[in-house]
């Protein structure tokens, strides 16, 4: 069904006359002869309406065809177009056209779909309407419906389309209290008149239509008032079904008042929006006029002059190199002649904005006080004694030179050992600005050296952005995760860093966007990496390496007490006294739940304790929560790590290995499978290097059994299986040759190692013990497993001697130059 609409003022006046005739005439219709067919009626509809087109109450049809409407009910006081589906209701409209009265009943069915429509879907009361100006189109039928009278359905004559029903026309009883009815009628008229000025939907036609109503005839007035509201369909149907006039007016009047309030609110919102728009337009015009007046008087500048002056003001406090100043002057000259709306103006302005925002000649003064530097490092970090010494040496050297610029420090170590925080502490110790960005996963060299200005959206590289943000030429810039850079078709960022990190080249660093030389020699670069294997050798050669090997249990206890635990309590705003974590429980957390080289996992476990304790304090209303060894599992569950037992037996030897996560103990097992044939089998997810070490160990053992008191023919008929446990963990590296040889020798001699002993070193075919790396990590791993006797290559004695005393305390270390030295320690020869 369509919304309220009118074809023309003439058609509306015609319908009004018909409605007026219906109200005052009691005569029978004069235009509906039995012999007139529907075609004649359509042709002469406008002429016939000049008379009484609506039959009187006595001649209203007793049988009437029925149409459903969905949006809202139709009232007797309404005149509006209706649109129906042609395919479904064409037959109904043909039959209506063939009737002498040309009337059809319309009834509100709500949301019921056409497919689900049935006689039960129709209400008992609907409205009989007169059909005018019937027109058929391709998919729909349109006609003007003139409401006549309410009807009540008594009997269904046809329960399928076209629906035909037998109806009666109930009278509308008028309340005896005429004065109250007149008062309600006047309220309705006033409400309608109040609604018309504030709602543009109702025009002059409705005003003239309203003038035809009278307070003495409240029925049509009440129906008209209900029809112009936007109430819901069910509410309007309730009004339609209310026959007593007083009851009906009592229902309609609140709907009309609500409609007035909504219209007033909409009008108010519209006025506010229009007022704001007018104020902005007025402000815009006034500003434009002010600009013109100020320009005429010479007391203001346009945008172009303002930009040029801004850039020149910035340069006054800078010491710009001569070659850069020449470029800036050229660009300023270009900017002064370009139109502000041109794309080139925006590009030139952005370029000058970057050039004049860099801290040319501005540096911060270094604080090279070693005592203060030690205090900062000790405040921020526990342990790392050798790392702190390297940093102090580095600063002491800078105090003689006068500055520490031009140096590139590489901090290497497992995750969570504090590489990033050490870099920040270096900046604090020097009193320099600190800027950090991660190069991990970086694939585009433009991130380092910038984009060329010819590209849309071009920007300088990260280094130029860093200098702009810190506003000095000598900050500490940290390049995090330098071992995780990638390559792509967009270039190789690791190669782009070669110029940045070379003290001989970064004096004249060239950013593609700036296209002027930039001095990075005053910058202190601090890089971090987990391992060195993935760093290009040319890049690695430009950096000074400082290793952070990880922490032993005692260091972790100190870190947890002084840093991690206070930080967690402060972050969660929990008073320190409310959670009591005992030293024994803290040590158990470290040994049973956080054995990694760093302290990140330890912090996570401590955070779990804080969360569990918070739950206890809130739910159980405990003032304090004590965490001890006895109840630790309530907070963290079963320990992730049990106390490792050193494997013992014939052919079983404990080795020491280095991984990116720190040091680890590596048990190696050798056993004789059978004596049916000679053979050698390797298992344990071994890489190529360890497989080569195993083959060398097997060959050396096979050729020297007699020298070490074993049966020289042992392997001639023995099938030997050498296994390196630890599940599916990949293992590779040149440090297990001595351990594998000892395992095979123990098997051939049928002699086990009777004490906790670990070893590391690579072996040659002639029995030479070669040096290996990661001595610190391996010593820490041995202490963690409570192994205090080690065999190390003699060439690594210097590395061991450089270890801090607390790592060497209680350790017995044997240094081997050849395998005979190893056998003497292990087997007593």
Please give the model's pTM, rounded to 2 decimal places: 0.57
Task: Supply the mean pLDDT for the chain.
Answer: 80
Task: To the nearest 10°, report the CA torsion of 171, 177, 180, 181.
Answer: 20
φ and ψ at 349, to 5 degrees? -65, -45
Q: In which element (H, E) is residue 346 found?
A: helix 343-357
Model pLDDT, residue 127: 92
d(CA 158, CA 414): 88
pLDDT of residue 3: 40
Nearest-angstrom CA–CA distance, 213 and 209? 7
Using CA of residue 516, residue 520, residue 521, residue 522, what is the dihedral sign? positive
* CA distances (Å), origin 562, targets 194, 379, 388, 588, 600: 77, 9, 18, 17, 15
Instruction: Tell me the catalytic residues.
Output: 735, 778
| DSSP letter (8 states) at residue 93 | H
Q: Tell me the three state secondary structure of residue 168.
A: strand
Helix (H) or strand (E) segment spanning residue 127: strand 125-136
What are the E-state strand segments in 45-95? 63-69, 79-85
- Low pLDDT (below 70) residues in the chain: 1-58, 174-178, 199-216, 294, 298-303, 405-406, 487-491, 643-647, 660-662, 726-734, 829
Distance CA 218, CA 184 (A): 9
- Would you state the structure tokens that stand for residue 223, as one six-digit string? 């129906």
> What local confidence, expressed as pLDDT, does residue 215 receive?
61
Helix (H, G, I), strand (E, B) or coil at 486: coil
Nearest residue to 599 (alpha-carbon basis) of 639, 557, 627: 557
Rounded to whole angstroms, the Cα distance separating 553 from 641 reads 14
Query: What count of other Cβ atoms lies within 10 Å of the Cβ of residue 517?
Result: 13
- DSSP E strands in 454-605: the ranges are 476-480, 509-510, 517-518, 524-529, 544-547, 579-581
Q: How high is the pLDDT of residue 818?
A: 92
Residue among 148, 146, 147, 150 nearest 173 (CA): 150
- Cβ neighbours, 10 Å, residue 227: 23
Position 104 scores a pLDDT of 92
In this predicted structure, what is the pLDDT of residue 126? 92
**CB contact burial 455-467 (16+ within 10 A = b; e otherwise):** eeebbbbbbbbbb
């Amino acid at each position: 069904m369509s919304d309220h609409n009118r074809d023309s003022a003439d058609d509306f006046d015609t319908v009004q006359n018909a409605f007026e005739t219906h109200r005052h005439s009691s005569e029978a219709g004069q235009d509906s002869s039995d012999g007139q067919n529907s075609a004649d009626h359509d042709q002469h509809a406008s002429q016939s309406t000049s008379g009484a087109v609506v039959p009187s109450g006595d001649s209203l049809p007793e049988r009437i065809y029925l149409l459903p409407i969905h949006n809202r009910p139709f009232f007797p006081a309404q005149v509006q177009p209706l649109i129906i589906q042609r395919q479904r209701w064409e037959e109904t409209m043909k039959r209506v056209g063939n009737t002498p009265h040309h009337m059809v009943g319309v009834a509100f069915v709500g949301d019921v779909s056409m497919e689900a429509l049935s006689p039960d879907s129709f209400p008992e009361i609907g409205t009989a309407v007169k059909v005018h100006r019937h027109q058929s189109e391709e998919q729909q039928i349109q006609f003007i419906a003139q409401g006549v009278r309410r009807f009540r359905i008594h009997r269904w004559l046809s329960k399928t389309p076209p629906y035909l029903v037998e109806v009666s026309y109930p009278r509308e009883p008028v309340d005896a209290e005429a004065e109250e009815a007149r008062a309600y009628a006047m309220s309705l008229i006033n409400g309608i008149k109040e609604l018309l000025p504030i709602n543009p939907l109702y025009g002059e036609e409705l005003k003239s239509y309203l003038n035809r109503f009278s307070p003495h005839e409240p029925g049509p007035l009440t129906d008209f008032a209900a029809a112009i509201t936007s109430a819901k369909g069910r509410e309007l149907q309730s009004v339609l079904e209310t026959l007593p006039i007083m009851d009906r007016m009592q229902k309609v009047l609140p709907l009309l008042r609500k409609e007035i309030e909504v219209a007033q609110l909409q009008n108010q919102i519209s006025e506010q929006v229009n007022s704001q728009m007018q104020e902005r337009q007025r402000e815009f015009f006034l500003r434009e006029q002010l600009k013109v007046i100020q320009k005429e008087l010479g007391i203001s500048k346009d945008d172009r002059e303002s930009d040029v002056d801004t850039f020149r003001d910035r340069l006054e406090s800078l010491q710009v190199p001569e070659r850069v100043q020449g470029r800036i002057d050229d660009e300023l000259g270009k900017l002064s002649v370009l139109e502000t709306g041109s794309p080139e103006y925006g590009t030139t302005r952005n370029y000058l904005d970057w050039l004049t925002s860099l801290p040319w000649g501005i540096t911060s003064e270094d604080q090279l006080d070693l005592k203060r530097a030690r205090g900062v490092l000790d405040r921020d970090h526990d342990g790392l004694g050798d790392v702190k010494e390297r940093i102090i040496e580095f600063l002491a050297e800078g105090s003689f030179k006068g500055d520490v610029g031009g140096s590139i420090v590489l901090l290497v170590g497992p995750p969570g050992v504090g590489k990033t925080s050490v870099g920040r502490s270096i900046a604090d110790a020097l009193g320099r600005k600190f800027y950090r960005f991660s190069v991990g996963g970086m694939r585009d060299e433009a991130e380092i050296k910038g984009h060329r200005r010819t590209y849309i959206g071009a920007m300088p590289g990260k280094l130029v952005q860093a200098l702009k943000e810190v506003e000095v030429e000598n900050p500490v810039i940290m390049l995090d995760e330098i071992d995780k850079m990638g390559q792509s078709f967009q270039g190789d960022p690791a190669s782009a860093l070669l110029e940045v990190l070379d003290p001989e080249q970064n004096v004249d660093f060239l950013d593609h966007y700036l296209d002027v030389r930039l001095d990075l020699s005053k910058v202190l670069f601090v890089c971090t990496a987990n391992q060195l294997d993935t760093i290009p050798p040319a890049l690695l050669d430009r950096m000074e390496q400082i290793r952070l090997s990880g922490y032993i249990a005692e260091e972790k206890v100190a870190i947890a007490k002084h840093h991690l635990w206070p930080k967690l309590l402060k972050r969660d705003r929990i008073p320190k006294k409310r959670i009591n974590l005992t030293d024994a429980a803290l040590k158990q957390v470290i040994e049973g739940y956080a054995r990694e080289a760093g302290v990140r996992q330890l912090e996570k476990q401590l955070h779990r304790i804080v969360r569990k304790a918070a739950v206890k304090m809130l739910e159980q209303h405990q003032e304090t929560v004590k965490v001890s060894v006895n109840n630790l599992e309530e907070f963290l569950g079963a320990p992730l790590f049990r106390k490792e037992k050193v494997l013992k037996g014939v052919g079983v030897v404990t080795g020491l290995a280095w991984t990116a996560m720190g040091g680890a103990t590596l048990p190696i097992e050798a056993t004789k499978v059978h004596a049916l044939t000679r053979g050698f089998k390797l298992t344990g997810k071994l890489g190529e290097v360890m497989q080569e070490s195993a083959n060398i160990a097997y060959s050396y053992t096979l050729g020297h059994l007699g020298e070490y008191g074993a049966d020289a023919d042992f392997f001639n008929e023995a099938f030997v299986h050498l296994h390196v446990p630890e599940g599916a963990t990949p293992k590779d590296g040149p440090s297990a040759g001595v351990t594998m040889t000892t395992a095979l020798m123990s098997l051939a001699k049928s002699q086990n190692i009777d004490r906790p002993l670990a070893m590391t070193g690579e072996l040659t075919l002639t029995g030479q013990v070669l040096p290996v790396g990661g001595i610190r990590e391996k010593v820490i791993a041995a202490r963690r497993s409570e192994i205090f006797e080690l065999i190390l290559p003699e060439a690594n004695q210097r590395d061991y001697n450089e270890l801090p005393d607390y790592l060497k305390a209680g350790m017995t270390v044997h240094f081997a130059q050849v395998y005979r030295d190893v056998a003497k320690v292990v087997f007593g020869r």
